[in-house]
Amino acid sequence: VFHHPAADAALLGALREHLRPEVEVHELDLHINDPAFAEAMARRFDELYQDWRGQERSQT
């Protein structure tokens, strides 16, 4: 329903142009409601969380 390739490209272009270099942008050729998208997001969140926990532990 909301599929609009030109708008998607404009959004990604603006993100790349304006985000700080250390901010990651991951592109997946998946619909936001696709279970594979949810799995990928959960995996990435877990990676970020584990990295954060490791940093927290090394500071104490």
Domain boundaries, the chain: 5-59
Average pLDDT over residues 16-43: 95
37 — pLDDT class (breaks 50, 70, 90): very high
The predicted structure's pLDDT at residue 56: 85
The predicted structure's pLDDT at residue 47: 97
CA separation, residue 16 to residues 2, 7, 21, 47 (Å) = 22, 14, 8, 22
Q: Which residue has the tokens 């142009």?
A: 17
Give, for 60, the enclosing helix (H) or strand (E). none
Give the span between the Cα atoms of 29 and 5, in whole angstroms.
Answer: 12
